[in-house]
């Protein structure tokens, strides 16, 4: 079951990368070229990914014993002062 889910989610992730253009080397190089023809579109892709992941991560952090969808424990760093 783990391998099947990894295959499905990996496929969804790769489709997202292709749709956003992150698999295009020229687009990535233009994003990294800050002083030339800088292309900021990948920054918006990154901000969108952070926005989508933020809410589930906050929910996960607030659980006393966080677990994955397959009911396996997740070890998160403890808060320190």
Q: How many domains does the chain have?
A: 1
Tens of pLDDT, residue by residue over 3-51, are 898 899 999 989 988 888 888 899 889 989 989 888 888 888 889 889 9
Query: Is 31 contained in some domain?
Result: yes
- Longest Cα pair distance anywhere in the chain, in angstroms? 48
Tens of pLDDT, residue by residue over 55-69, are 988 988 888 888 887
Query: Is 72 contained in some domain?
Result: no
Alpha-carbon span 64 to 16, nearest angstrom: 32
Query: Is 13 contained in some domain?
Result: yes
Query: Is 44 contained in some domain?
Result: yes
How much is the pLDDT for 46?
Answer: 86
Alpha-carbon span 72 to 55, nearest angstrom: 20
Query: Is 79 contained in some domain?
Result: no
Containing structural domain, residue 10: 2-62
* Stated pTM of the model: 0.63
* DSSP-assigned letters across all residues of 23-72: T-HHHHHHHH-TTSS--THHHHHHHHHHHHHHHHHHHHHHSSS-B-TTS-
């Amino acid at each position: 079951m783990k391998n099947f889910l990894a295959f499905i989610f990996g496929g969804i992730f790769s489709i997202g990368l292709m749709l956003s253009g992150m698999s295009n080397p020229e687009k990535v190089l233009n994003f990294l070229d800050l002083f030339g023809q800088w292309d900021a579109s990948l920054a918006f892709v990154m901000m969108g990914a952070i926005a989508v992941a933020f809410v589930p991560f906050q929910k996960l952090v607030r659980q006393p014993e966080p677990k994955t969808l397959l009911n396996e424990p997740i070890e998160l760093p403890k808060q320190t002062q």
